[in-house]
Structure 1
Amino acid sequence: MNVVLRADVDGVGKKGDMLQVADGFARNYLIPKGRAIKATPGVQAQAAAMRRSAAAREAREREQAQGVASKLVPMVIRIPAKAGAEGRLFGSVSSADIAEAVGDQSDAVLDRRSLQIEEPIRTVGEHAVGVKLAGGVEFVLNVEVVKG
């Protein structure tokens, strides 16, 4: 049976894809759960329009993300924090703190979830923080924690 997916389905396809699936899979799983609809000429045209709009949206997001990355890559984000004599912080610098500092020190806005930091920073010095933005744009942000 030919169906058009209304949502991403793991191992099957992405939203807007038109594909051939087993009749039982379509009737018993995809269609009742609202994840697909039977492909008719009208539905196929709608699916093509959805794919075009999704591709355009992804291209815009990728372009915006590349603009943000080009602004932030040469920068060093400085974050003041209280620290002891040995350079160990009283507390830590989290991804939310880094995202806030980026907003304060540049006109770019980062979501804390886009920062790939395994654990909060607990020492003074320079640290490399991975950033993953929409559209698959990835870069490294230089963060310097200073005594303050």
Structure 2
Amino acid sequence: MKLAPIVLALVLAGFASAAQPARRPSDADRGRDLYQRHCLACHGAGARGDGPASAALVVKPGDLQGKVTVDPETIAIVTKGRGAMPAFDQTFNTEDAKRVLNHMKGLTDTPATPVEEPAAAPVPEEAPTEGGGG
């Protein structure tokens, strides 16, 4: 019965690890994930209203980059819909709507660090050919 203490230790270790709560995503991560899953197709990566599905829409989403606010009216637009914007009350609760809107506030389609083109190497002038040319 030398195995009994080892088996007992393994079983207890299994229960201890199972009791650990699953890591919850941060508000920012959840907002990003929800936006990518439910909003990006119409609103686009930068919230400019140029998502891949926007071309098929009769009423195009507006350019929201830099214009998003997190207030009761905007939360109601997300959850209840308005105009061509569908309601997401079956998808988002109020807190999720806030997470999505906070994610949208940070969207930009400009690169974080501008990429500079390397300077072109100077082109040497052609050397004169022998014999004149004239």
> Does the pair score TM above 0.5?
no
User: Which has the larger strand fraction?
Assistant: 1
Q: TM-score normalized by structure 1? A: 0.24
Q: TM-score normalized by structure 2? A: 0.26
